[in-house]
Structures are given as C-alpha cells and as structure tokens.
Structure 1
Amino acid sequence: MAPDSLIGIIGLGYVGLPLSLRFAQCGSRVLGLDIDSAKVDKLNAGQSYILHISETDIASAVTEGRFSATTDFSRAAECSALIICVPTPLAPGNQPDLSFVLNTGRAIAPYLQKGQLVVLESTTYPGTTDGELREVLEEGSGLKAGVDFHLAFSPEREDPGNPLSDVARIPKVIGGLTPECQKRAMAVYGRAIQTLVPVDSCRIAEAVKLTENIFRAVNIAMVNELKVVYDKMGIDVWEVIEAAKTKPFGFMPFYPGPGLGGHCIPIDPFYLTWKARQYGQETRFIELAGEVNTAMPSYVIQRSSEALATVGKELSTSRVLLLGIAYKPNVDDDRESPAYVLWELLEEAKADVAYHDPHVPVIRPSREHGHFAGRESVALTPESIASFDLVLLATNHKAVDYPLIAEHAKLIVDTRNAFGSLLKGKPHYHKA
C-alpha cells in the first residue's frame, strides 16, 4: 500500500472509530463513512460521542488531516482499502439480520475500483463474506472478487471500557478469499496492528469470532446457573469464584449477572445456531446457554420481590431505583442491556421505576428499547436514595458513590456484588 493511500472505514461506532484513530495515529489517512450525519459532523469538529474514546485523539487526527468523516459513499472510490464495521443484530426469532452489512455492500459496490481491498469486521456466520457480501459487491460493481478486487474477513475484538483493550496490541485474525487477498489485508492491517494471525479462509476467520463469543456465553451461563443453585444452598457464588480463581491452571473466572448485554455475547451465538441448521446440525449446548442467560432477568425480579417481602412490601406498591443502565461497567453503551429487560419486568409488575447512570444521563433512541428514549437519570442524594423502596443494581460503574447508597438505601438487591464489601451480612442487603 502506498504510504499516503486512503483507508476507508465504514461505520464509526464502537469498533470503527477506535480503528480509524489507530490507523491515523500510525500515519495513514483515514476516511470514515457513516449514514449518521450528526455523528459525522461531531467527529469532523473533533468531538467524541463515545465515553471511553478520547476527544483529544479525535481532534488531533482531524487537525493533522489524518481523519475526516463523510456521509457521501461515492467517496469510497478514493480509498485503497474499505473496512466494514457495521452492526449485525438479530431479527425476530433469533434470525441473523445482515441488512446493515449487505446495504453497506450495495452502497459501495458502484464505486469499487480494481485493486481495492474490502474487509468485513462485523461478526457473522461462516460464509457471509465469500457468500452474501461477495455477491452484492460483484453484482453492483461488475468486478470479480479475488480477481479484480480483494476480499477478506478480520473479526473485531473490541472490549469497550477495558483499559487492556488496545487496538494496536490485540492480535488481528485475518482470512482472505484468496492467498493474494490475505496478503493484501495483512499489508493494510500491518500498518496499525502489532500482531497478525493469518488463517486459511474467510470462513475460518468468521468461525474464530463466533467461537470466542460462544465460549464466553456458555461460561457465563454456567456461573449464572451455579448462582441460582448455590443461593438455594446458602452459598455465595462470588466467594466461590474468588477462591476458585486462585487455582493457577484449569480454571478461568467468569461472573454472574442479571443477563447478557452488549452487541456481541447475547447475539453472536445465534448466528451459528441458525447457520448450523442449514447443515442439519443442532447446537444444543449453545441454545441451552442462551436459555439460561435469557432467564436471568426474571430470576432477578423474583429475588427483588422476595427482598421486598422481607419488609412487608410488594413490587406493585414500590418505587424502584435501577442502578446502571449501560450493559457493562464504565461505558455509555446501552445496546442490548439487560437493565432494560429488568425495567420492563418491573413495570409489568406495576412498580414505579427510575434509573441512575452517570454515563447515560439521557436514554437515547434505539431499535430495541425506543420506548425508554428521553428518560433522564435521577441524581443521587441522601433524600432521593431514601425515597425508593428498593435499589436494584444492574451495572456496577466505578463512578457511582456506593457508600452513599449503602448508607441511605432502605433495601438493596445487588446483581454484581458491588456492595459485598460494604454490606455483607446486613439485613437490608440481598444478592441476586
């Protein structure tokens, strides 16, 4: 790749934006493409709209002429490489929804040039890159993948909010349609990523990402199930895990919670279960894990109801403060958050619900939970905390004042062991 060639990154979200900045920091010129004009305007002004992404990094890249954003997909023709980082959600019935990927393919296909590289990073089932995406690119461009342009898959490995999740240092798996496609993709990513992991095909690379996320989903399901079992036995699963993880081999700690959240773990396993059925294969283990994890919000509401009963209250007559709306600690990403499922179940039980999240001051519109859009986080004061019959912790942000809540809350149900060191053994404290 020529030293000053332009890299196009399509989708400037939690994956595409940090990748764009990494390439820019390494001296590449980057063009970000996104359909959201408000997002594009903000980035071109050097502003960040994602909590953990530095505004200074964006402003520097823009000022130095290394990064700009646009909604004009015709500019894809200017790029030597196009990297697709768009969502792959689930449709009703846990069916894969490739509309974002395929619509992106259709949008760039008319502008594909001979010699260009197209890489898909969005998590999907094996066969998407060399199947559906390849088809729309070839139909829309009149060019042939592997002959006229290069095609590859390289799964994203972002972990928002994790200080160890550094784009430059996370090894990059790369599978090409042909050996030359892989070589081209390796040359592009080699400018920004320290360790490259070549695999023999796009399908292997797609399967790598699914395997990583299924591993997490299954193990989380296991500890969620153990949590329920051990609770009946009067055993604290958190203490069990803390002790078990001292074993230096053969064990890896996973932690229970109120359900799965984010754009990967609750979704990706079902991409494989759907595809496996096309081959006449069942994925019973994966589907069972999905059932366990999906059942956790109902278990949390049951435990909340039991906790309220200890003080003579019912959900239908209670005010509940939902603590944490983001899907994981210390981020502002609320996609697929189990907190919303808890909220819906609480409202079904006629509870009066409010929330506090320092990173989500106002709930943004979304595909999944648009009816909550516009609701605002309540301030935490001794008076406001004491006004609720129950504080239900869904997400354990570091920025929350736990001692303040511990002192003034009438009743606490904790799904993350956030109050364990403060309130262990206290009658108004319950784990779920």
Structure 2
Amino acid sequence: MKEKTKIAVIGMGYVGIPAAALLADVDGFEVIGIQRRSKRSGWKIEALNRGECPILNEPELPELIRRVVLEKKTFRVTDDTEVLRDMNYILIDVQTPTDKETHQPLYKSLREVSAVVGQKMKDGAVVIVESTVAPGTTENIVKPILEENSGKTCGKDFYLVFAYERVMVGRLINNIVNYPRVIGGVTEECTKKGLWLYKHIVKEKLIPVSATTAEVAKVVENTYRDVQIAFANEVALACEALHVDFNDVRKCVNSLPFNSNAYRDLHLPGAGVGGHCLPKDPWLLKFGVDTYGKIKVPFEVIVKARMRNDQMPLHMLELAEAAAKKAGIDIKNAKLAILGASFLENSEDTRNSPTEAFVKLLEERKIKWAIHDPYVRQREFPYPLSKNLEEIIRDADILLIFVKHKDYYALEPQWLKERMKHPIIIDGRDVINLEKFRKNGFVAFGVGKPNY
C-alpha cells in the first residue's frame, strides 16, 4: 500500500483551517493541525476534533470539516509539536501583525514556530510559509532559523517555500480552490515540491516564481487595493465639500466600457478599512524594501494612502459632530449607538476593525457609546457589545452605521425615531436612503454625500 503523505498545518485560523481541511480531503493525505492552547484560540482544538467549524457563516467549510474529521478521520488537531518529526510537509499559518505605532512587523510567533520546526523536522521535509510576510523574510529570517535549529541545509536536506493565500472571509474554500496560486521556492527544487502539494487542492493554474517574488506579489496585491480604496475615500471627501453624491460621480466614472483602454473601476468609500491584510501589507512592503532593498524608495503614495484610510473613523466622528451641531445638541453629552463591530459585512471577523479605532477616539473624548453587532462573539472584540439592537439604540442621540450587515438595510426611520432620544444618523457604508430619513425628521449625514 502506498505510504500516506503526512502534513502538519501550524495555526488554526482563517487560513490554516480551510487549508488543512482541503488537504485532509485528498486521498492519501493525513493532516494534523497544531494550535496553541491560548486563551483566545485554544478552544478551537476540541471544537475541530468534534468535527465543528469554529468560523461562522463560511460556505462549504462546516461540511468539509465534519467529513474529514468524523468520516474519513484524516484530520485532527493537537497542541503537541512532537508530531512534526514525522511530517512530509509543514505549513506555517501563524499571525504576522505589524506594530500599530511603528508599523514594524511583529514576527514573534513566526520566529518561535520556525525554531520549533527546525528542531523537529525530518530530512526531506518541505516547509511552506503561507503567512503574509515582508519581502525578504523567507530567505533572511525563516531560512536561517530553520538551518540553525536543524543543522540542515535548505535545498539539500529540507525544502522551503513561500505560497501565499488569497482568502477572504465568507469565501475561504472558494478562493483557495478556484484562484490561481503563486508558489515561490527558495530553490527550483523547493518550488517543485510546493507545486506538487498544491496541485491536489487548487483547480486553477499554479504560478512558479522565486520566494521573494511571491512575497512581493502578495503584499502588492493588497497594497494596490488599499490605494484604490484610499482614492475613493479622498474623492468622497471632495464630493462632500462640493455638495454632490459620490454614487452619482462613481456611476459616471465607471460607465466606461470594461473591454476598453479607458476602463475605470472607482471603488466604494467608507467608515474605514480593516481586516488582517490591507492595514498591514503596505507597511510590510515598505519594511521589506527598507530592510533588504538595494536602493531607497520614498513610498509617498502608498504611505499617504494608508494614512487616508486610517483617518476615516476620525471623519465619521467629524460627521457626527457636524450633525450634532446641526441638531442643536452637544456631542460631549450624547450617547452614540454604533452599528457593526466586524471589519466586513455579515462576518464575525473583527481584525483591525474601524469600529475599534472609532471607540478609541470616543474614549479619548469621554463620549458615551454602545455597540451592536449580530455576528461578532464577545471574545473576539475588546469592547462590550450587544446583539440586542433595540437595547443599543434606546435613548441614543446619534446612530452610526459602521458595517453594512444585511440586518441594517431593514432599518426604518419611524421605528428608530420612536426609540432614539434625538433623530440623528451617520451612514458610513451607504446602507440607508438619506433623503428618506431626512423627510422623516432625521439629521442624516453620510460618507461621500451632500451633507451640509
């Protein structure tokens, strides 16, 4: 009987869980997930071993996990790193955040995991970094740690690959299976080892490149989108200043035909940009170039775009202040009801949530607030929140929409007016019809709207 391919996936998060489950569904593969018993994520070990999906509202994933855990028995999770000694492939899917003040990458988990892998991997093992890192990290940080802790040589005794994910919450399985995958090996043989693994779960083409090329591609993908959103946010501010509706401008700009050289895709503005990738990847790109680049690059456009997106929660506060002034109330004595804590609609994911940044601004100014979110679990968010909408808006002076959860599209002005102390609403995601609310007595402002 053919020997099974044994795979370890380190880190049971939004990247590690779907990757592990898909690999475990391949005939001839056995997968072990490795997760620390941390206060925040340790519970996932038992949940996954019961065949339960820890990620909410994720198509296909719950059934896939149930199948590979309970039926096929090809996937289990542990906190014991000794299992690494028997693995053919080891995938690293740990968090690689950046410092909120210095924007430097925080590689504590990556360094620790790399050292453990180096100490325990066997000859011929293939180590694949899926976590997003600054360009140059695989070659200059991960490789030396692996070699130092193993006494082995990369490309000869073990193989090292950077193969980044393109996942999005709500489309995890779809994006892994149906998007092209970039495979960047430290050597040509490393790349071949990576290609062999991913051809079993990716239906689209595999793109072989160097590790550093893959690292650059990953952070550029997200930086490109971050800059596009920043442009939309700045245009939205211009529309507010000129008293025109951003949506009308966008409709005109995007009317150019898709198959023409003149095609434009003006993005949507909003209350802020969150998630694990966009707020940090521009900084990772800059750090990689600053640290390992041969020439100096100013990064003026990319850095200013990132700052523009970071300033949007402050703009929401400015809109609230202007609306309060128009309504004749003092915002310092007001209660603000905030709708949405996640960074993405209809999701529980709160990573780098603009709502969190907004609450910090309110705390600094000693303004009272309350948060509603129908999806987010309390342990995933640092501030108190409620799933009871009526409780949150009761006697509120100002209502602010930070996330376009489907639930909020049903908001009616009369229902809100009967429960709020003052009828003031700020729409940061183009959810409501502002004119409808204004006709019902609301002071209604929105990002990119003629407000004054």
For structure 1, list consecutive stretches of 5 or more residues without a partner in the other structure. none
> Take 2:227 and 2:416, find their aligned partners in 1: how far apart are those partners?
37
Code of the aligned partner of 1:180: E
> What RMSD over aligned residues (CA atoms) do the two structures have, in Å?
2.0
Distance in structure 1 (CA, Å) of the matches to 2:251 and 2:393: 30
Give the match for residue 65 of structure 1.
73
Aligned sequence identity (%): 29
Once the 2 structures are TM-superposed, how far is the Cα of residue 245 of structure 1 from its aligned partner?
2.7
Q: Deviations over 1:32-78 (max 9, x none)?
A: 11113322111111222211334333222111212100111110122
Residues 402-413 of structure 1 aligned to structure 2 (within 5 Å):
402-404=410-412, 407-409=415-417, 410-413=423-426
Q: Give 2:269's aligned residue.
A: 256
The answer as to 2:199 corresponding to 1:184 is no
Whole-Å separation in 1 of the counterparts to 2:437 and 2:3: 59
Verify: 1:14 aligned to 2:21, yes or no. Answer: no
The amino acid of 2:4's aligned partner reads D
Match of 2:420 in 1: none
Aligned to 2:113: 104
Greater mean deviation of Cα atoms: 22-31 or 390-399: 22-31
Which of these residues, 173, 179, 192, is aligned with residue 170 of structure 1? Answer: 179
DSSP-derived class of the 1:26 partner: coil
User: Helix, strand or coil for the counterpart of 1:166?
Assistant: helix
Alignment-derived partner of residue 320 in structure 1: 336
Q: Which position in structure 2 is the counterpart of 1:286? A: 302
How many Å separate the matches in 2 of 1:378 and 1:160?
21
Runs of 5+ consecutive residues of structure 2 not aligned to the other structure: 418-422, 448-452
Which position in structure 2 is the counterpart of 1:358? 374
Match of 2:223 among 187, 196, 214: 214
Amino acid at match of 1:134: K
Contact persistence 2:89–2:126 (CA under 8 A): yes
* Partner Cα separation in structure 2 for residue 58 and residue 126 of structure 1: 33
Once residues 66 and 421 of structure 1 are traced to their aligned partners in structure 2, the CA distance between those partners, rounded to angstroms, is: 53
- Output the TM-score relative to the length of structure 2: 0.89
Opposite residue 86 of structure 1, the aligned amino acid is V
1:43 aligns with 2:48: yes
Q: Decide whether the 8 Å contact of 1:174 with 1:196 is kept in 2.
A: no
- Pair 313,58 (structure 1): closer, same or farther in 2 beyond 3 Å: same
- Contact 2:18–2:172 (CA under 8 A) maintained in structure 1: no
| Contact 2:233/2:269, CA 8 A, preserved across alignment | yes
Q: Quick one: distance in 2 between partners of 1:424 and 1:245? A: 28
Q: What is the 5 A alignment of 1:19-30? A: 19-27=19-27, 28-30=29-31
SS at match of 1:353: strand
1:194 to 200, 203, 218: 203
What residue in structure 2 maps to residue 90 of structure 1? 98
The answer to whether the 8 Å contact 2:374/2:387 transfers is no
Per-residue deviation at 1:363?
4.4
**Bigger mean CA deviation after superposition, 280-289 or 329-338:** 280-289
The farther-off stretch of 121-130 and 3-12 is 3-12
Cross-structure match for 1:340: 356
Cα deviations by residue, 1:86-131 (Å, 9 ceiling, x for unpaired):
1110124111112221111012111111111101011112211111
Partner of 2:444: 429
Displacement of 1:384: 5.1
Match of 1:270 in 2: 283
Q: Is the 8 A contact 1:120 1:154 kept in 2?
A: yes
Against the structure 1 CA distance between its residues 422 and 172, is the aligned structure 2 distance closer, same or farther, given a 3 Å change threshold? farther
Q: Distance in 1 between matches of 2:171 and 2:255?
A: 22
Structure-1-length-normalised TM-score: 0.93
Contact 1:221 1:292 (C-alpha < 8 Å) held by counterparts: yes
* Mapping 1:148-159, distance limit 5 Å: 148-159=157-168
Q: Partners in 2 of 1:421 and 1:107 — Cα distance?
A: 55
Q: Aligned partners of 2:318, 2:44: CA distance in 1, in Å?
A: 40
Q: CA deviation at 1:288?
A: 1.1
Report the AA paired with residue 48 of structure 2. Answer: L
Distance change (3 Å), C-alpha of 1:239 and 1:66: farther
Q: Does the Cα contact within 8 Å between 1:406 and 1:422 map onto a contact in 2?
A: no
Deviation at 1:364, TM superposition (A): 2.9
In the alignment of these two chains, the number of paired residues is 423
CA contact (8 A) 2:434 2:444 kept: no
